[in-house]
A = this chain, B = another copy of it.
Amino acid sequence: MRRASDDLVAEIEVRIASGQFENNKPLPAERDLMDMFGASRTVVREAISTLANRGLVETKPRFRPVVKKPDYGTVLTATSNIIEHLLSEPGGVTDLYRSREFIERSLARHAALHANKDDIADLKAALAANYEAIDDTPRFFQTDMEFHGILYKIVRNPIFPAIHEGYLSWLSPSWGKMKRAPDHNLINYHAHKKIYDAILERDPVQAENAMDEHLAVAWEVVKDTLENK
């Protein structure tokens, strides 16, 4: 058996995909949707709730739902609730953190092979900002993330920046609890520099290894933080 609201959800999805309900514009009022589809308000509201949970519309209490054409970022917001549950379980943060190593390794290699002039300029700038912030731990943290973010961007595949966003939003709470002193920042800066140099020299093997080492060292610090929490 099928729920009436499922049909409505499907119909509204079509209208969003076709542009009849424009992106970033509000959906018609609930009472109008009732007339439009011949459904009761209950069904309409249930459908909107489903669409909101899928990330196709954004609801804010007392405002009309706003249409959001999905992108890979939408996937994140739709899953962040579940992920947070999973992270609270034992080993949750560890699993997520370690998954990053698998991706960023390949990212470093890809950058060494395919980064163009602009990419390398971006990396250079990020590295410089990173250096500048060694004595300013919060800013170092941010420039650290940005350096890594550029690697995610170089692939030119929209999936990867979204993954980076995910790691940021889910892991930074743990990172925030890490001890981060200037001497520690310096170590990370040098690791970044090593990665950058390898990319500059178009040495994929070296880039992979440098990233591996960087994340392994960082992992030790994170691990201590998690255990001593």
Select which of B1, B46, B158, B159 is within 8 A of A62 by beta carbon. Answer: B1
In the complex, A3 Cα to B52 Cα: how many Å?
14
Residues of B within 8 A of A101 (CB): 106
B71, A54: Cβ atoms under 8 Å?
no
Residue ID in chain B nearest A101 by CB atoms: B106
Interface of A is mostly: helix
Contact with B along A28-65 (1 / 0, CB 8 A): 00000000000000100110011001111000011000
B75, A79: Cβ atoms under 8 Å?
yes
* Chain A residues with a Cβ under 8 A of chain B: 1-3, 13, 17, 42, 45-46, 49-50, 53-56, 61-62, 70-72, 74-75, 78-79, 81-83, 85-86, 88, 95-96, 98-99, 101-103, 105-107, 109-110, 155, 157-160, 205
